[in-house]
Chains A and B, each alone.
Chain A
Amino acid sequence: MTMRATTEGFATRLVLITVAMLFLGFFLLLPLVAVFSEALKQGIGGFIEHVDTPDAWAAIRLTLLIAAISVPLNIVFGIAASWAITKFSFPGKSLLITLIDLPFSVSPVVSGLIFVLLFGANGLFGAWLAEHDLKIIFAVPGIVLATVFITFPFVARELIPLMMEQGKDDEEAALSLGASGWQTFWHVTLPNIRWGLLYGVLLCNARAMGEFGAVSVVSGHIRGETNTMPLHVEILYNEYDFVGAFAVASLLACLALVTLVAKSVLEWRFDLHGGAKH
């Protein structure tokens, strides 16, 4: 294969890589470094002291709970939606995809507001909820709802292009060989999409744990009860406990990094499998 005219000269390559790295360093790496350096201003001891408080632990537990509820819901939806969209053709598909994307473009403030308008004391269902002594807003369910809304598109967004690319030949073959629909999905489709699915789940999970704006509107900010980690960061920041704020923030950043590492490992395995398959 000739490389002559299908790639750039060494100098051009070097310049492009350098510019790209500088851009990333400036816009991505620097903020990350800032978070960690602020968090470790008083050393490891100070860091632990600031994180090891009952309120911080309550926030961590709540954040994990929220993610554990909202992510599975979005997985089910993501798979169902991408199956319908990619395996069949029907009019209005673009509209449907756009609607799924919609939560991406709704301001987080609005995402919280809509649930207040629905379930708040003066909302559409407010009176009914009060009558039955059910709490949605300013309690865990409200935070879950806002989180599900915010992370709604993540899994579907990841799966739709992947499944579209894969087409439906494999499934049709399986069916013609006598497999049931469920068997086909379980033994043919799922193995095909599992890495993409995991990738979507990881991003969905990261966003679910990190959402601030929407959750802030519906949480009520009750300490140790309805404060998620990002809200706890804000609280500490507002208490002028900057080291504490950045310490909890760095935990979230660590989470982001773990997510990214996991994702890279997945991609690496995905490449390996993909390479073996084709």
Chain B
Amino acid sequence: MNRRAFTATIALALAAGPLLAGCSGKPSNPNAVELTNVSYDPTRELYQAINPAFAAFWKQKTGKDVTFRMSHGGSGKQSRAIIDGLDADVATLALGYDIDAIASKAKLLPADWQKALPDNSSPYTSTIVFLVRKGNPKGIKDWADLVRPGVEVITPNPKTSGGARWNFLAAWAYGKKAGGSDAAAEDFVRKLYGNVPVLDSGARGATTTFVERGIGDVLISWENEAFLAEKELGKGKFEIVAPSLSILAEPPVAVITENAKKHGTTEVADAYLRYLYTPEAQTAIAHAFYRPRDPKVAEQFKSQFPAIPMVTVDKDFGGWGRAQKTYFDEGGVFDRIYTPKK
């Protein structure tokens, strides 16, 4: 064997080694701190507004610079990434179940994480509303109109989208109230999904399908997404319809304590999340069409948000753990609805 050939080949192959390994760690500046916020899709605009404000606040308070690494994606996918080692300091996801999963599967934060911050660790809330086309040509007023024959409903797949799970539970709550039983609720939801022509994999995909592709008569959507679509995406082309009953959607935030400990960011991560409850942040939250928690700010933006009676996951569905198992896990209600008829 030719020795030079051999060494050349091996050298080339090995050259990749350091390159592969050499990408961890960053030059550290004692006066700078970096926070990784792993969030879900619809919060981009929100954190784009809040991050610089917090950076200024933190600089003034401690003299330290804080920079942000933002990651956005589907809530479940983001949760899985954290479990698999994405080194998030804070997680700001779409539903409690996704942070529960981080606590139970990766033990990166305590199981009672939701008690760490006020209001169930949800500094902002939202709810589920309908977005219809201008003039509401199909006359959609409430959930009952969604199961009428000939009405096309757009909602994402609850298996892959956190937002879609809120949609599903809101529909279920209405069906149960109207029909009086779980069986009636399942029947209602089955009819509703019978009217769905496209199940996008995420909430934003569903909005695009409805707004850009022009498919469907009604989009079941986060309230904040519906506002965004109504006010920015297609000005004057859509209307929001508030149903008679909806669900209180509480997107939670949490410090991933083990990661923060490792990065030495516990203090700033906690301050960052607590900052979300300040009047300044709450105002930014309302501007991003989320419902603020702060009573004063809420009062100020009262006219923006319709008053809707709401159920909650904890009271009406026994918490996310149970809801996920009953409705969305393999063999749950959602699978039953979609079992191919033989």
Contacts and interface: CB of A to CB of B under 8 A. Distances in A.
Q: Do chains A and B touch in the complex (CB under 8 A)?
A: yes
Interface of A: 69, 72-73, 76, 80, 116, 119-123, 126, 130, 133-141, 144-145, 180-182, 185, 220-225, 235, 237-240, 242
19 contacts: A76-B13, A80-B9, A119-B85, A120-B83, A121-B85, A122-B84, A122-B105, A123-B84, A135-B23, A135-B24, A136-B20, A137-B86, A139-B24, A141-B20, A182-B2, A222-B36, A222-B69, A240-B207, A240-B211
Interface size range of chain B in the complex: 35 or more
Interface of B: 2, 4-5, 9, 12-13, 16, 19-21, 23-25, 36, 41, 44, 69-73, 81, 83-87, 105-106, 202, 204-205, 207-208, 211-212, 228, 232-233
Contacts of B105: 122
A133 B24 contact: yes
Contact of B71 (A123, A221, A240): A221
A151 to B, nearest CB: 14
B1 to A, nearest CB: 8
- Identify whether the interface residues of B are mostly helix, strand, loop, or mixed: helix
A270 B148 CA distance: 65
A238 B204 contact: yes
Nearest to B41: A238
Q: 7 tightest A-B contacts by CB? A: A121-B85, A120-B84, A135-B24, A140-B23, A141-B20, A138-B86, A238-B204
Contacts of A135: 23-24, 85, 87
A12 B169 CA distance: 62
Contacts of A240: 204, 207-208, 211, 228, 232-233
Task: Pick from A76, A130, A181 the residue with the most CB of B within 10 Å.
Answer: A76
Given A121-B85, A240-B233, A134 B4 contact: no
Nearest to B25: A133
A135 B228 CA distance: 37
Contacts of B69: 222-225
Given A122-B105, A235-B72, 6 more contacts: A69-B19, A72-B12, A80-B9, A133-B25, A144-B19, A240-B211
Contacts of B205: 238
Contacts of A126: 85
Contacts of B12: 72-73, 76
